[in-house]
Amino acid sequence: MNATTYVLTTNGLLFLLSIIYWKFPPKKINNWYGYRTHKTMLHQKIWDFANAIFAKNLLIYAGISFLGALVFAKFATVVISWQPMALVFLTIVVCIIKTEKALKDSFTEEGKKK
């Protein structure tokens, strides 16, 4: 598999999923789709807030990851193996950290607005 195809199937897929998640966020608290943690499932307001923040962050960082991986694939002098997947992993970790920080800054542990 060439480098560009690899980037399209990893980082490109994450970017596509981020667009879908941003355009079609989960409406109600559920166990299948959305940013699900114990805290986000306490109240609908927390659920909506967390999913909006996560969707925005995922769209931004998945786009950056996708463009970065494409540039890397274009100019790489070595065979690309783990680098695009590392960018996918870092994107997801950064989005989770930023969402949890926003939740901590906006809501108490009991789920009440600060």
pLDDT at site 77:
81
pLDDT at site 112:
85
pLDDT band at 2 (very low <50, low <70, confident <90, very high): confident
List, for residues 49-105, the tens digit of each pLDDT value.
999 999 999 999 999 999 999 999 998 888 888 999 999 999 999 999 999 999 999
Question: Do the Cβ atoms of 62 and 15 come closer than 8 Å?
Answer: yes
pTM of the model: 0.91
pLDDT at site 87:
96
Secondary structure (H, E, C), 41-75: CCCHHHHHHHHHHHHHHHHHHHHHHHHHHHHHHHH
pLDDT band at 5 (very low <50, low <70, confident <90, very high): very high
